[in-house]
Chains A and B, each alone.
Chain A
Amino acid sequence: MVDKFIEDKVTRVPIKQDGQEVKVDFNDLKSGGFIKQRQRDLFAVRLRCPGGRLDTKKLVEIAKLADKYSKQGVVHFSFRQSLEILYVDYKDFDNLVRDLEKIGQKVASCGPRVRVPTACGGCEYNPNGLTDTQKMAKMVDEKYFGTPCHHKFKTSFSGCPIDCARTKEMDLGFQGVVEPVWDEDTCTGCTICSKACKEDAIKSHPETGKPIYDPQKCIYCGDCIRACPTESWQAKRYGHFVRIGGRHGRHPREANNVANFIPDEKVPETIEKTLEWYKVNGKKGERIGKTIDRVGIESYMKFMEPVFKSGEPLKTNTKPGWEKV
């Protein structure tokens, strides 16, 4: 009876159960989304659900498999939007994985690598959403999932500054932003935008009612654009506010704010270059936030400059707020 879960070091592990040998090939199951439970022989199997999205046909099939393989007939929605099938006997791993493959469902990962991205609903169906978070999560999952790193590497996408996907706590987080521009000619001075702005970034002129905009206070949420009855506020550009080095856990660290208005098409490059910097500067077992604390954020900023100039690099010494350069 082996009740210790072996992850990276050994790929093929013969496991003895009541004198019978069961072969479990961890190389085939290379994602490693199998987490030992406190109960003997039983594991939780985490499914790969980027952005927490599942199509309903697949969900029905997953439900059938969960019912078949979970000894207690339960699943759990994890904090990173994965669906976990609980109480799975390790002797069933091969069969479960095969059955999951038939319905096109993959298993998630643990350990020192790029994890399944999380994401909120974003602009597809959330009224606050500014970016297509689900599309981005899918892209990151397809391109970067499982990439080995010095430690776990978590990414997430929030559609707007409300930040439901908690980009401040990610190794690399992307939060939607929009820059508003105002057209004086069409403005009727109705004062609604100054009411709609929750950041006090718009005051109404005492006589005309027209907006007086303070870009230092603006967090680029777009509420003014959505509220204005005459479309006098318009979107100048959309993009991602980028945060690096966040984590939670035992030693939480709030991310450094590093860039603003990074366009969709520069997100892959942002991830690739960040992983490159981490590879060179990080140490085994060190989260990227720790690398930043040890090596200095300036090194990262310098390295990222070619990508970040597609938007606006930020002054990173100002926490917890942020400043435009």
Chain B
Amino acid sequence: MGKGITMADIKADDSLDLRGVLCPINFVKTKLKLETMDVGQVLEIVLDDGEPIQNVPKSIKEEGHKIVEVKKEGDFFRLKIEKR
């Protein structure tokens, strides 16, 4: 699998482990967390492979936020999202 690193190790202001959390609750939790954060801050989330990684990035983009880093680690993905 690809290394998939955008910019080396962006610092996260907060994080959410969403492994085992189903669609669309994983997205809703992400959204709620982002709402408590300031514009420009970065949230790190951990998502399962399969449906979560298929769906959640699309929804994050549709809400206007920016995915700034994606790393694949075994069976899950670590995403960093900049609040917009």
Contact = CB atoms under 8 A, between A and B. Distances in A.
A209 B3 contact: yes
Contacts of B54: 195-196, 198, 223, 227
Interface string A225-246: 0110110000000000000000
Interface of A: 127, 188-192, 195-196, 198, 204-210, 223, 226-227, 229-230
A210 B61 contact: no
B6 A226 contact: no
Contacts of B62: 127, 226
Given A191-B70, A229-B66, A209 B4 contact: yes
Contacts of A205: 2
B6 to A, nearest CB: 5
- The A contact surface, by secondary structure, is loop
Given A192-B53, A192-B70, A229 B4 contact: no
Contacts of B53: 192, 195-196
Contact of A226 (B1, B4, B61, B67): B61
- The B contact surface, by secondary structure, is mixed
B2 A223 contact: no
B67 A229 contact: yes
A188 B66 CA distance: 14
24 contacts: A188-B5, A188-B70, A189-B2, A189-B3, A190-B4, A190-B6, A191-B1, A191-B2, A191-B4, A192-B67, A195-B49, A195-B53, A198-B54, A204-B1, A206-B2, A209-B1, A209-B3, A209-B4, A210-B2, A226-B58, A226-B61, A229-B6, A229-B68, A229-B70
Interface of B: 1-6, 49, 53-54, 57-59, 61-62, 66-68, 70, 72
A207 B4 CA distance: 10
B61 A189 contact: no
Contacts of A127: 58-59, 62
B2 A207 contact: yes
A72 to B, nearest CB: 40
Nearest to A210: B2
